[in-house]
Structure formats: C-alpha cells, structure tokens
Structure 1
C-alpha cells in the first residue's frame, strides 16, 4: 500500500539530466562596451538601518549585455554598511587619546556562486585591514578620546574574477575594496562623525588595446576583459589631493610601458575613477540632508498642530 502522506519517487532508478554549455557559451567573447574613461553607474543611499548611528547601501550596475553562458559570472556589487559609535570604551580598557576604529568586511553566504562560510576567510581579513587603514587616514581621531567606533560592511553580492567564481583576487578584490571604502565613507558621514574630507576610492587598470598596444581604462569589470596587465585601487581625498590607501597588482613589460600606461598613469586612472565616485557621494549626502530637513520640518509642524488642538 502506498503512503499518501508523501510523494513517492519512481520505482526504478533514473539518471539526472546533464546540461552542457555550447561551444559559444564555453568561451564567450568579452568586450567592453563602455568608453575607456566611462564609469559604471552607482546607486548610493544612506540611513537604511535605524538602529545604527549611520548606515549606507551601495550598488554598481551590471554591464549592459548578457553573456551567453549557462551560469554567467556576476559583475554586480551590492554592499551595505552600518556604523556603531562613537561609544565609550570599557572601564577596564586603558586610556586612549584617540578614537579606536574597527572595520570588518563579511561576505553573506549567498554573495557569490560558491557559498561562503561563516568563519572569516583570509580575503575578508585583507579587505577589512585595507578598509581600516584607509578610514584611519580621514578620521579626526583626537576628538573622541577613550572612544571606539565599529564599521561593519556586508557584501550582499560580489564580483567574481573568473568563470568558476571560487576565489577573489586581483580585479574583483580591488572593485570590492573600492566599493567598501565608498559605502563606509557614506555611512560615516551619515553618523555625523567629523572627517578631514570625503574619502572616495576608484580602480584603474591597463588592458591589451588595439594594435597590440596597452590601453588605460577606468572602473574595469572582470567580465569585460579576458586579460588584465595591471590594476590599482586608491583611496583619495579630493580637497587635500592626498592618497591615503593604494594597492596595485600586475606588471607591464618595459617595451609596452608608456607614460600613460606605466605605474604613474595607472595611479592617475584610479584617482580619476575616485573623483567620479566622489561626485556620487556628494549627491547622496545632499539628498540625505534634504530628507532630514523635510522630516524635521514635518515633525515641528506636527508639534505645532498638536499644541493648537490642545489649546
């Protein structure tokens, strides 16, 4: 007698279907449709976590074309950041004349095609260390003695470097770090923590160009290029014209190096990308300020109406 409480499987054995990608999908062409100096569109909004002192959400757009693959590599970056503090240190802690900053980056389990674990990986530790070093260069730490602030960045969706998506290194890692710096700076500004300037980050790269010449580009995406000669990410303070964080990878042969594709040109490309991100930061913070002023005005108007009704 069959069990009616569950769905019974077939009596015999079955073979699961196997989906094999076509030859075109196995090696899809990679082509950048954007101009070399064109940045991807960025969405940035602050004030999304009410329980935090400051919070922000950042998202980068997907390239405007779909790659013909069974499991396409993602190039969208989605990050959320929350800032807790400044808060007093424990009584047992020794006196510190400066603000104690702690920054961490954590991948959500569903952030990549390969499921992430809960134990911090070396990639997360490296990203957190570079993020902390970049933010220390912009904070006015001497204004909060014996205080601490915690910055937590959560990667909701990461950019894969390769088709398998089983590791983060090189270009995908740099794009994540730049996005983490930008979203953390927006969250710090939302928390109203004094800083020297708005810290913005950008990525520049040198890729093979036409006629076997190297080409310098801004804001590269891993799915748009088959080969990356070198890449660089910088944290840049625009008003002070200072670089507080730099991380580079790759090399260029001596015969292919030019003033525009050498190390100086690579850093200039990353700085130009950071200036573009600074524009988005300015607009997002101005929009947040406008929303706060409107909310305050509505609150005051409501209080006045309540007083008039009571009298």
Structure 2
C-alpha cells in the first residue's frame, strides 16, 4: 500500500532551470588573490534553538551564472544538564552532527549518515573544542547540528566528470564558520570565535603551472592537486584543526607552509564576516530592548 501522506521526489536526476546571465560589466573582474568568495551570514534564524546561524557562499564569478553555491544552517541546543545516569564530567560534552540534505548534491544522499558526513562531524568537533571554555559547564552537554542545504558542486557539470570530493574542504570550512557564529549566538563562552579557511594548489588550464589560491570553487579550475582546510583562532593566533588532502609535487615542505599561510589569510577574512554579523545582531537586540 502506497504512503499517500508523503510526497516523494523524482527517482531520476533533475536539472534546474538555467536563465540568461546578465552581460558582464567592464568593471567586473575575477576574485582578488588574497580574498575569498562573498559570504552571507545571519544569526538567530531558528527561534526554538539556543543559538542558530545561516551561511551562504556564492560563486566567485559574479559576471556569469552561479552554478555552485554553499548553503549551511546550524542550530545549537544547550548547554543543558546531562541525565543522572550519565557519569560525572568536569567539562562540557560536545556533540556535533553534520548531515547533507537529500537534495544537497548532484547524487541524491540517503537519510543515514555516511562516512564522509561522519568525518566532517569529527573534524568539526575537533575545531570547536579548542575554542569553547569547557570547564564552565560541568556535567552538561551541548548539541551542534549542521545541515548542508546545498553542497559546493557544479549542478550543470556533465555526469561523467570525475569528482574527487574536493568540495568537502569548502563544506568543512563553512561548517566551522557557521557553527562558530551559532555558538556565539547561544551565549556559550569561548576564548575566541573560530573561523575556517581553505587554500588549494590548482591549475587553471592544462598548460598553466600550479598555483595556490584561496577558497577555490572546484568547477573554476582544470585540476586540483592538493587542498588544506584550517580552523583558526585569530585573536589567540592558534590553530585548532588541520585537514590536508592531496599530494604536493615533489613533497615540497615550503609549498605546504605557503598553503598553510594562505589558509590563515582565508580564516582571517571569514572571521571578519563572523564578527560583523554578531555586531549587527547585538545592535538589533539593543534597539528592540
């Protein structure tokens, strides 16, 4: 017997409508070398949660159609007391949950978490644990839930195009940034607001030499050799998590150090967006009160 109370999506792949892009203006240029893509960040989007935030990252090419976009939402529940049956903990118990929406990527996701989503949750927990002052809430727990509404993938790319999962680096960076804003919105004490940043070694075309870029959009480059995602506390100048993927030509340690330095630049840019969003939220609350 069919379930008439549930509207299921189409079984096969669907193609979103493509609209004519506006003609590029003469002043529109590519993304600067030391800049990241534009970020929209807003806190307090879920009233039922202790803290929440929404992040959207658009494509770097403003003149053409936006084929890739990253949309994340985060909710924070807690701190709240643990059950009496739980063992005593002098620190807060941090639980992170990262899940793709079924429609977030080109290949439809299941309702149960897979290995990539569990890896994202582990990296997110490591990044946030270094920022939260855990001894303020003994025998307490906080749940951080990040939902990926849209992954950083090209929807118009051909089906036979190889996907090595480079978009997960940008997803993790966005998860760290949006979770940091949601934690601050929940009023949880932290040593600093942590921010995520990505740098990658890419080749723009088959004949160009490899170069290091910030916040790469996967579909904008011919090949990606390696990528690095870092969670960074700018005020304390501390790194809470590093995730490196790929292989550098000749295992050059200097190139690895350069990628880390460029990641820190991306983290500082994302951190300024978080601080600006939190200041706007605080000003609105003062005006309302």
TM-score bracket for the superposition, by shorter chain length: 0.7 to 0.9
Contact 2:91 2:138 in 1 (8 A): yes
Q: Residues of 1 paired with 2:253 and 2:78: CA distance?
A: 47
Contact 2:41 2:277 in 1 (8 A): yes
Structure 2 match to 1:245: 241
CA deviations 1:202-252 (Å, max 9, x no partner) are 000112368743311111110111101211000001011111000011122
Structure 2 match to 1:232: 228
Name the larger-Rg structure. Answer: 1
Q: Residues of 1 paired with 2:63 and 2:112: CA distance?
A: 35
Q: CA RMSD in A?
A: 2.4
Q: Residues of 1 paired with 2:263 and 2:133: CA distance?
A: 25
Question: 2:42 matched to 1:45?
Answer: yes
Question: 2:212 matched to 1:219?
Answer: no
CA deviations 1:146-175 (Å, max 9, x no partner) are 000000000000012774399975420000
Normalization by structure 2: what TM-score? 0.83
Normalization by structure 1: what TM-score? 0.78
> What residue ranges of structure 1 are gaps of 5+ in the alignment?
1-18, 20-31, 297-311
Contact 1:232 1:247 in 2 (8 A): yes
> What residue ranges of structure 2 are gaps of 5+ in the alignment?
1-14, 16-28
Q: Residues of 1 paired with 2:159 and 2:81: CA distance?
A: 45
- SS in structure 1 opposite 2:197? strand
1:185 pairs with one of 180, 189, 192: 180
- SS in structure 2 opposite 1:228? strand
Q: Residues of 1 paired with 2:285 and 2:32: CA distance?
A: 37
CA 1:168/1:208 → structure 2, altered by over 3 Å: closer, same or farther?
Answer: closer
Structure 1 match to 2:167: 172
- SS in structure 2 opposite 1:33? coil
Q: Residues of 2 paired with 1:165 and 1:99: CA distance?
A: 46
- SS in structure 1 opposite 2:223? coil
Structure 2 match to 1:302: none
CA deviations 1:118-142 (Å, max 9, x no partner) are 0111111010110011111111000
Contact 2:214 2:266 in 1 (8 A): yes
Structure 1 match to 2:83: 90
- State the number of aligned residues: 258
Structure 2 match to 1:133: 126
Q: Residues of 2 paired with 1:50 and 1:158: CA distance?
A: 25
CA deviations 1:250-293 (Å, max 9, x no partner) are 122239x584xx10001011110000000100100000100111
State the Cα distance separating 1:37 from its structure 2 match.
Answer: 2.1
1:33 pairs with one of 22, 30, 36: 30
